[in-house]
Structure 1
Amino acid sequence: MLLRVRSPDGNFRFEFQPTADVSELVAKILETSAEADPATLTISNQPRGNETLFTTLKGRSLQGLGLNHADLIFVGYKRKPETASTSTNPTTAPQPGLAADTAPRIWETVTEDPIDVYWRARDGKIPRSRDSRFCTHAAKGMCDYCMPLEPYDAAYHKEHAIKHLSYHAYLKKLTPKSTASATSNLPPLEPLSYKVKIPCPSGHPSWPAGICTACQPSAITLQSQPFRMVDHVEIASHEMVERFLRVWRETGAQRFGWLIGHYEPYDVVPMGIKAVVEAIYEPPQEGELDGLTLGLPWEEEQRIRTLSASATTPLTVVGYVFTDLTVSKDDPSKTICKRHPGSFYMSSLEVIFAATLQKTYPTPSRSSPTGQAGSRLVTLIITANENGDTDLAAYQASEQACAMVEADMIEASVDPGIVRVKEEDRSQDAARYVPDVFFSYKNDYGLEVKKTAKPAFPVEYLMVNASFFFVSHGFPTNPVPMFQSTRYFIENRMGLESQTIEGVMSKLASLDAPDIHDSRTARPGEAHKRRELAAWLSDWHLIAFLDTTQLFSPDDIKLMMRVLTSPTLLDDLSQLDPLLAIEGWNNLMAFTRDSAAASSGPTAMEDDIPQEILDQIAAAEGNGGGDAGGGDANSGGVRICPHCTFENSARAADCDVCGLPL
């Protein structure tokens, strides 16, 4: 049978035979509590009170104590004398924020995301105004009809059609309300694990040589996850998505990108969290008509994460996005709707991929004994809706999906809406134990029916939202993106866009960047040039490219990112001064001057050509010229946009990126 133990060291689960002696339970507890004095070890069926010393229960069986499968017991103890004396030794300095007689535990040393720190400092209660019908008290009074609700209040969620609790509302529901409780400071979450315990606590040879109730995982019942780590995904600007789609629109190949952003409170749901996407980084990849090939782990990850963390509001990888679009043969202006209630919303292969990545990028949390709880990595899919227009959908795999992938229990099926359960494997090289897996559904008579998930089951049982399937998403009504520009070329787009230092210098020369001074030495009329320069430089892809040129030191790049992501940069241009003073910038400006001088100076051949001939050539070029066959001189070429330097087709009248006339 399974016993759940809650002690000062955390929450634990142990497997025993019902006839096992109580000494076996004591041994397991002492393995997890190295500082416990065995003589003071107590057991109780409630958090406070009714404690009984284990020493008075010698010779009793667990069944004889009245313990049953899945019972929760509460354990307490005093620390060993030598531990206490060591902790009070004046030569041993206690860590800040910890009592002198306690040692830090894993979850107590975790550094959480700022959004978690924000919500932990608040009670999250839902305010209510005075009810004119039932409130009979004075203006400053309060009663059951107007007192604030808990963030997990079921009636409020049902009234506002909120299907899932937010992460911190769920934690509030699990955490005891009484601060005096012995368990109030213990992490309330228990990480899921469907793997066989190796080595087995009972001491027999490890799986596959042997297995028992102490080391084998329990049967699994697939259930809808009651909470979600992210409640909303917000794209900082619509142009970001439009530029991401350019590869598919021009080649038909699917595209993948990492979402760079940060987390903010989302007040639409109690204690909600939204992921705000500020940029999309596109790693090296090979797109195809019906999929793509991607390298994992991605080589540039550490550089991109370091660069992102240097922003004014530190950024991180909040998810990933990919396209799944196919043009309709009947109407080329429409795309085929593949994902709908009669098909699937997220394929089994995509769910397993999402679960794998979510397990790779867990969320640091003080609410888990391991210091990690779930993941906020969001899957964003650009696909077609029922009208044939491109649309966005955001998803997450459930915690059960992550645990099943970690235990190597499931695999994708040929049918995208079906997940297959793998067969048990007892070979030494790839030992795999697969417990019983069940899922429930309502039959034609409205009755809840439980069914085995072997050999396969519907993919929606592994998604966070069993009803709506997707995390909400959208664009802000009044966008205030962190980066002022989305015009610079995007990385790793071979044959479509090219990032070169020569192109950067050409643009800087057109902006008169080498002649722009800091605010102390600025000349009259230079403010608009500084503003134009700041707006162009504040581009995620440009900063990321400059980081690869080796012109700037790591510290200079961090300074550049911090300056160019300031929300008040265009209102206070003096913030640009530190960037204009660094050595890397001065070197780049020196190269820009030399490049501009070399390109503008006359060649030796031009010196020999009479001026009247040069004037005729210039006039012919100004009138569009003409080739020998009378065709368009621009056919087959490109037109560089003077506003954003984007390469358009020769026949384009307006820029495909910024929309301004060429």
Structure 2
Amino acid sequence: MLLRLRSKEGNFRFQFDPAADISVLLNKIIESSPNADPNTITISDQPRGNEVPLLSLSGRTIQHLGLNNGDLIFIQYKELAGATESTSTPTTLPSSSTGVTREPKAWELAQEDPVDTFWRSKDGKIPRNRDTTFCKHGPKGMCDYCMPLEPYDAAYHKENSIKHLSFHAYLKKISPKTDNSSASFLPPLDPPSYTVKSPCPVGGHSPFPAGICTSCQPSAITLQSQPFRMVDHLEIANMDIVDRFLNAWRRTGMQRFGWMIGHYEPYPDVPMGVKAIVEAIYEPPQAGELDGLTLGIPWEDEQRLRQLIANASTPLSVVGYIFTDLEPMEEDRTKNVYKRHPDSFFLSSLEAVFAATLQNASPTSTKSSPTGKYSSRLVTAILTATEDGAIDVSAYQVSAQAEAMVAADMIEPSVDPGIVRVKENDRTSGSARYVPDVFFSYKNEYGLEVKKSAKPAFPVEYLIVNVTHGFPQNPSPMFRSSAYRIENRPGLEDQTIESVLAALAGLGAPDIPSSQLLPPGQAHKTFELAKFLSDLHLIAFLQTTQLVSEEDIKVWLKTVTSPTLLDDPRELDPVLATEGWQSLMTFTRESAPAPGRPSNAMDEDISEDILRQIAEEQAGNNHPSSSSVRVCPHCTFENDHSGTDCEVCGLPLA
């Protein structure tokens, strides 16, 4: 049942089980009034008079007090002597008096992203210059024509073609103008839930699917475009990141999927905006097809990678995912079919349900929700064709309503990619589902707003939130190299320790000392090595070889992602000082080819006659024409094939 509590701290509403002990009510009172002395708490059904000490009712249930759903209880108490705690500090009451401990609220325990902490410290006001036409005051004055605007100002957003409010601008709009640290503060965001409440707040019947009533069943749903978005802009740190991801599709024609690794920062182009910056794309195991792909969720090595990237100089996380949807035109293979446009779809119903599933699995921690979590910042990015046949990125999220509907198992994809199907009620034991009435509004041919039932299906656009995207004008990526082979591309790019050792040998890594012993004029070798190591795919692979300890790998990742890595040779010293580096250099020296032999990791499988012939060719006898030989700048092996990568170390040829 729902009970309302009124005290000097304000008005509160809580759900109670009618059969719960009175101590549950005591805990809720202490939760909403942390400075209350439990020995002095009284309750009454009137503002004045008829007070009853709460502790005198010990042993009774809430239902035995004669309380009904929606009743208002008036609370009186005396404050604890010298109490100064606020809601942000958990309070423990003396066990000798009541034994009741105030548990911290869920939103108080939420660990927000640094970008949220940044915007919470700002008022978000939009500054305006003095209007020379209407402002009649001096340069230090202010009036209605030049005073700063609120971050949710509708006219400003329309003028600047900003379709959605940012998350924090939306919070400013719906939050009361009160101190968030006060005891009466309640988070403004209530995550939508479309599942049947169990147990029923009122009780009196068996749990669903055996029984259901108006108190436990979800209300009717009216679909509407979400007015805000959790992420306002997707920024890819370097064009090479996308180009390397696309390379697999170019060489096989099969679609490809990858997790976008990055971090969040303020986005100045939108009031109180947030942008997701993609620093790398990690490709999980998958089976690509011409018109789709098969993917395992949760993906292999997920926890290992998440723990690894958290040790970067700026902690990284999974900020979204990206996949290709490309099909070359038959008449011109250099162009692609224009699939996604206003007359077809932008995000298919299958993709929308998939996005909602992943967003539900990656909620955003926030102090603005009673549960401590709300929606998600996971971005869906698609590499697809533009109208002229070129390739571009499209970015989306799905709304909180979409997340709640998928969580309640209410919707499913349909054959038409632009249509979402609403499921039917199901009271089968084990798969019970209750689907309330669902409506959506649209303007008819006369310009009138019409509400229509969403059953059996509705347009997928009601679930989508657009996200802008782009590339920085002056790229400054966290990872300086994107040359090493990408994981989980069997037969296309195979990651081997031999290729790593060959590349390190080609860079002369075993002979590069720390900065204190570095000879004059040799700093460029340190920078070349540092750039080669600054690659997430390389670091993630080395972690799996067991040649480098977990602690050393953390040091390596933090070092190679430093913003000043290529500014000073001393920046690489932490890597060169680790035991893992010394072990790797030992293997590099042992695997280095003997003079006159090619640096091929498979030499042991080649006969002596062939090796002698290769040595003679390198010495000048029967040497291939210079026009067909390209020397790898990394491992110095002479390649005489037409490919773009070295056949030994796998890195791009100069």
1:462 and 1:174 map into 2 onto residues whose CA distance is: 21
Counterpart of 1:222? 223
Q: Is the 8 A contact 2:337 2:385 kept in 1?
A: yes
Task: Assess, with a 3 A threshold, how the Cα gap between structure 1 residues 658 and 500 changes in structure 2: closer, same or farther.
Answer: closer
Q: Structure 2 unaligned runs (5+)?
A: 33-37, 53-64, 94-101
Q: Post-superposition shift, 1:141?
A: 1.6
- Which secondary structure state, in structure 2, belongs to the residue aligned with residue 122 of structure 1? coil
Task: Assess, with a 3 A threshold, how the Cα gap between structure 1 residues 308 and 202 changes in structure 2: closer, same or farther.
Answer: same
Could you tell me which amino acid in structure 2 is paired with residue 410 of structure 1? I
- Which secondary structure state, in structure 2, belongs to the residue aligned with residue 534 of structure 1? helix
2:49 and 2:635 map into 1 onto residues whose CA distance is: 76
Task: Assess, with a 3 A threshold, how the Cα gap between structure 1 residues 653 and 448 changes in structure 2: closer, same or farther.
Answer: closer
Counterpart of 2:28? 33
Counterpart of 1:104? 104
1:658 and 1:501 map into 2 onto residues whose CA distance is: 11
Q: Is the 8 A contact 1:257 1:320 kept in 2?
A: yes
Paired residues, number? 619
- Give CA deviations for 1:311-355 in whole Å, capped at 9, x if unaligned: 111100000000011111111111001111110000000000000
Could you tell me which amino acid in structure 2 is paired with residue 120 of structure 1? R
Counterpart of 2:633? 642
Counterpart of 1:571? 567
Could you tell me which amino acid in structure 2 is paired with residue 295 of structure 1? G
Counterpart of 1:530? 526
Counterpart of 2:195? 195
Q: Post-superposition shift, 1:4?
A: 8.9
- Which secondary structure state, in structure 1, belongs to the residue aligned with residue 373 of structure 2? coil
With structure 2 as the length reference, what TM-score do the two structures score? 0.85
Please give the residue correspondences for 1:426-465 in structure 2 after superposition, counting only pairs within 5 Å.
426-464=427-465
Q: Post-superposition shift, 1:525?
A: 2.8
Q: Post-superposition shift, 1:538?
A: 0.6
Counterpart of 1:628? none
Q: Post-superposition shift, 1:153?
A: 1.1
1:30 and 1:219 map into 2 onto residues whose CA distance is: 30
Alignment of 1:593 onto 2:584: no
- Give CA deviations for 1:268-307 in whole Å, capped at 9, x if unaligned: 0100000000000000000000110001111211111111
Counterpart of 1:19? none
2:283 and 2:431 map into 1 onto residues whose CA distance is: 35
Q: 1:651 aligns with which of 642, 647, 650?
A: 642
Q: Is the 8 A contact 2:259 2:321 kept in 1?
A: yes
1:607 and 1:443 map into 2 onto residues whose CA distance is: 82
CA RMSD of aligned residues (A): 4.1
2:375 and 2:614 map into 1 onto residues whose CA distance is: 73
Could you tell me which amino acid in structure 2 is paired with residue 143 of structure 1? C
Counterpart of 1:276? 277
Counterpart of 1:20? none
Counterpart of 1:425? 426
- Give CA deviations for 1:58-117 in whole Å, capped at 9, x if unaligned: 999889x9xxxxxxx9x8745699xx69x98xxxx9999456776521111111100000
Counterpart of 1:47? none
Task: Assess, with a 3 A threshold, how the Cα gap between structure 1 residues 471 and 640 changes in structure 2: closer, same or farther.
Answer: farther
1:534 and 1:357 map into 2 onto residues whose CA distance is: 35
2:506 and 2:618 map into 1 onto residues whose CA distance is: 24
Q: Is the 8 A contact 1:488 1:644 kept in 2?
A: no
1:314 and 1:242 map into 2 onto residues whose CA distance is: 24
1:375 and 1:588 map into 2 onto residues whose CA distance is: 40
Please give the residue correspondences for 1:622-641 in structure 2 after superposition, counting only pairs within 5 Å.
622-624=623-625, 641=632
Task: Assess, with a 3 A threshold, how the Cα gap between structure 1 residues 155 and 539 changes in structure 2: closer, same or farther.
Answer: same
Task: Assess, with a 3 A threshold, how the Cα gap between structure 1 residues 398 and 179 changes in structure 2: closer, same or farther.
Answer: same
- Which secondary structure state, in structure 2, belongs to the residue aligned with residue 280 of structure 1? strand
Alignment of 1:267 onto 2:258: no
- Which secondary structure state, in structure 1, belongs to the residue aligned with residue 351 of structure 2? helix
Counterpart of 2:550? 554
Task: Assess, with a 3 A threshold, how the Cα gap between structure 1 residues 273 and 76 changes in structure 2: closer, same or farther.
Answer: farther
Counterpart of 2:122? 122
Deviates more, 1:212-221 or 1:602-611: 602-611
Counterpart of 1:143? 143
Q: Post-superposition shift, 1:55?
A: 5.8
2:404 and 2:504 map into 1 onto residues whose CA distance is: 51
Alignment of 1:489 onto 2:485: yes
2:637 and 2:153 map into 1 onto residues whose CA distance is: 52
Q: Post-superposition shift, 1:13?
A: 7.5
Counterpart of 2:495? 499
1:289 and 1:256 map into 2 onto residues whose CA distance is: 13
2:543 and 2:617 map into 1 onto residues whose CA distance is: 44
1:303 and 1:347 map into 2 onto residues whose CA distance is: 31
1:575 and 1:294 map into 2 onto residues whose CA distance is: 39
Q: Is the 8 A contact 1:552 1:584 kept in 2?
A: yes
1:579 and 1:27 map into 2 onto residues whose CA distance is: 60
- Which secondary structure state, in structure 1, belongs to the residue aligned with residue 517 of structure 2? coil
Counterpart of 2:61? none
Q: Post-superposition shift, 1:524?
A: 2.7
Counterpart of 1:113? 113
Q: Is the 8 A contact 1:321 1:381 kept in 2?
A: yes
Q: Post-superposition shift, 1:189?
A: 0.6
Task: Assess, with a 3 A threshold, how the Cα gap between structure 1 residues 107 and 653 changes in structure 2: closer, same or farther.
Answer: closer
With structure 1 as the length reference, what TM-score do the two structures score? 0.84
Task: Assess, with a 3 A threshold, how the Cα gap between structure 1 residues 314 and 265 changes in structure 2: closer, same or farther.
Answer: same
1:197 and 1:542 map into 2 onto residues whose CA distance is: 49
Q: Is the 8 A contact 1:10 1:187 kept in 2?
A: no
Could you tell me which amino acid in structure 2 is paired with residue 379 of structure 1? T
Task: Assess, with a 3 A threshold, how the Cα gap between structure 1 residues 353 and 96 changes in structure 2: closer, same or farther.
Answer: closer
Alignment of 1:512 onto 2:512: no
Q: Structure 1 unaligned runs (5+)?
A: 17-22, 44-50, 66-72, 465-469, 626-631
Q: 1:584 aligns with which of 561, 580, 583?
A: 580
Deviates more, 1:448-457 or 1:195-204: 195-204
Q: Is the 8 A contact 1:275 1:318 kept in 2?
A: yes
